[in-house]
């Protein structure tokens, strides 16, 4: 490990996230144009970076077809104005696509193969519903490798409720309400907007500009959440209110080696400490971040008590709550999702991993007393992913005061 090159998260941006479907702001926008817009915004924010020095581009998508197909990393690089000498590729790890883009290119930096790289993801769930057109091998079911509804993410969330009776619907609803309230407060304080790249959009009313996340519901109440239908089973506990909505959006991040940071005068926002992916039963995929986090902590030589900030993807409230209960963290712990999460902001599958990193990086700036933070998420087909980051603004004196 001594000769490993340091991996730095320099910057990250995203489009505003839109509601999927005909009522969504991106219904008439191509998926590849969304990620190209994010990449152009990223490059414009970092004019010190010579485009020809980008070593690789990895862009993730879960449903790689149509305007989300054709080796997205390469096509998006060309459309974003990078020189033809810059290569690119596509990644699919379902919800952890962008996270895997970061860890894959970060590994290349650590190995010494790359100095600068762009990692991100896009999902246009309105155009490309998850799993659309896929043809799963029939042996998955005939040989009982997975349950028939293992790809129904709502059912996997219901099963976590079944397995852990202490994880009640009331707790899920209360966590969801907190996500909406925290996101609304973050917007009011201008925390999220600096990293949003506006996107020109077209509708029946003409041309406009997408500047904010479309899925927020600041008017949410516990009473309202209690009345919502449970679409995945009668008298269930998973509802549209305590789940992330179907979402369109894109993210892009700039990664660099320590040498490149010095060469181009860049300012690191985070340093990658370790990462891990792990598998669990597909039927309870929401538990995936538990073993992936334990693995990442072990590889970093850290414990959960060393982590000062958590950005956990809120695919479902129950998924986050199962993580918190496992590690003995309170539902309302202020270290967790300080500015809300996917329940309010949205979860465009393969794009979400970098959104978590963008928010953690901003929080690191505000909290020099925190040394380590985590971004973690569950992944369809029974996986979890975790990345541990170090705060370059860490101040031991601030930590002692804290």
Question: What's the DSSP call for residue 25?
Answer: T
pLDDT tens per residue, range 81-136 = 999 999 999 999 999 999 999 999 999 999 999 999 999 999 999 999 888 888 88
Q: Among residues 128, 161, 367, 378, which one is catalytic?
A: 378
The per-residue pLDDT for 146 is 85
Quickly state the pLDDT bin for 1 (edges 50, 70, 90): very low
Q: Among residues 95, 128, 161, 367, which one is catalytic?
A: 95
Calculate the alpha carbon distances from 37 to 8, 77, 87, 216, 251 in Å: 23, 11, 18, 22, 9
Q: Is 212 a catalytic residue?
A: no
The per-residue pLDDT for 144 is 80
Taking residues 365-390, report their average pLDDT. Answer: 97
Taking residues 316-327, report their average pLDDT. Answer: 98
The per-residue pLDDT for 293 is 98
Q: Is 347 a catalytic residue?
A: yes
Q: Is the model's pLDDT at 31 over the cut of 90?
A: yes
pLDDT tens per residue, range 144-190 = 888 888 878 999 999 999 999 999 999 999 999 999 999 999 999 99
pLDDT tens per residue, range 266-280 = 999 999 999 999 999
Q: Is the model's pLDDT at 70 over the cut of 80?
A: yes
Q: Among residues 124, 128, 161, 347, which one is catalytic?
A: 347
Q: Is the model's pLDDT at 2 over the cut of 60?
A: no
The two tokens of residue 230 are 């449970």
Q: Is 128 a catalytic residue?
A: no
Q: Are 362 and 77 in contact (CB under 8 A)?
A: no
Quickly state the pLDDT bin for 204 (edges 50, 70, 90): confident
∠ CA 262-400-7, nearest 5°, is 25
The per-residue pLDDT for 3 is 64
Taking residues 293-320, report their average pLDDT. Answer: 98
Calculate the alpha carbon distances from 8 to 42, 55, 84, 261, 362 in Å: 15, 15, 25, 8, 14
| Residue 47: count of CB within 10 angstroms of its CB | 8
Taking residues 9-21, report their average pLDDT. Answer: 98
Taking residues 346-375, report their average pLDDT. Answer: 98
Quickly state the pLDDT bin for 44 (edges 50, 70, 90): very high
What's the mean per-residue pLDDT of the chain? 95
């Amino acid at each position: 490990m001594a000769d490993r090159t340091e991996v730095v998260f320099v910057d990250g941006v995203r489009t505003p996230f839109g509601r999927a479907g005909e009522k969504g702001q991106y219904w008439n926008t191509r998926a590849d144009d969304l990620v190209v817009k994010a990449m152009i915004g990223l490059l414009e924010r970092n004019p010190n970076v010579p485009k020809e020095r980008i070593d690789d581009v990895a862009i993730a998508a879960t449903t790689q077809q149509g305007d989300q197909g054709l080796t997205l990393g390469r096509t998006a690089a060309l459309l974003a104005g990078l020189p033809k000498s810059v290569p690119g590729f596509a990644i699919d790890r379902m919800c952890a696509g962008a996270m895997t883009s970061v860890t894959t290119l970060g590994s290349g930096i650590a190995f010494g193969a790359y100095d600068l790289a762009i990692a991100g993801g896009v999902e246009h769930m309105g155009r490309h519903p998850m799993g659309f057109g896929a043809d799963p091998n029939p042996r998955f079911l005939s040989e009982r490798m997975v349950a028939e509804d293992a790809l129904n993410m709502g059912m996997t969330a219901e099963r976590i409720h079944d397995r852990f009776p202490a994880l009640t619907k009331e707790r899920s609803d209360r966590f969801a309400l907190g996500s909406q309230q925290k996101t609304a407060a973050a917007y009011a304080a201008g925390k999220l907007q600096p990293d949003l790249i506006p996107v020109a959009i077209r509708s029946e009313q003409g041309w406009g500009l997408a500047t904010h996340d479309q899925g927020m519901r600041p008017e949410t109440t516990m009473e309202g959440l209690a009345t919502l239908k449970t679409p995945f089973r009668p008298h269930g506990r998973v509802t549209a209110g305590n789940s992330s909505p179907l979402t369109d959006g894109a993210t892009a991040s700039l990664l660099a080696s320590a040498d490149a940071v010095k060469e181009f005068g860049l300012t690191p926002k985070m340093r990658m400490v370790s990462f891990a992916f792990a598998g669990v039963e597909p039927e309870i995929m929401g538990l995936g971040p538990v073993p992936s986090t334990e693995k990442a902590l072990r590889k970093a030589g850290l414990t959960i008590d060393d982590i000062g900030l958590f950005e956990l993807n809120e695919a479902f409230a129950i998924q986050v709550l199962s993580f918190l209960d496992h590690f003995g963290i309170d539902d309302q712990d202020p270290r967790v999702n300080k500015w809300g999460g996917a329940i309010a902001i949205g979860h465009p599958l393969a794009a979400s991993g970098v959104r978590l990193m963008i928010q953690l990086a901003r929080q690191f700036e505000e909290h020099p007393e925190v040394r380590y933070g985590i971004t973690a998420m569950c992944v369809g087909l029974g996986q979890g992913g975790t990345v541990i980051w170090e705060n370059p603004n860490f101040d031991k004196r601030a930590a002692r005061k804290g």
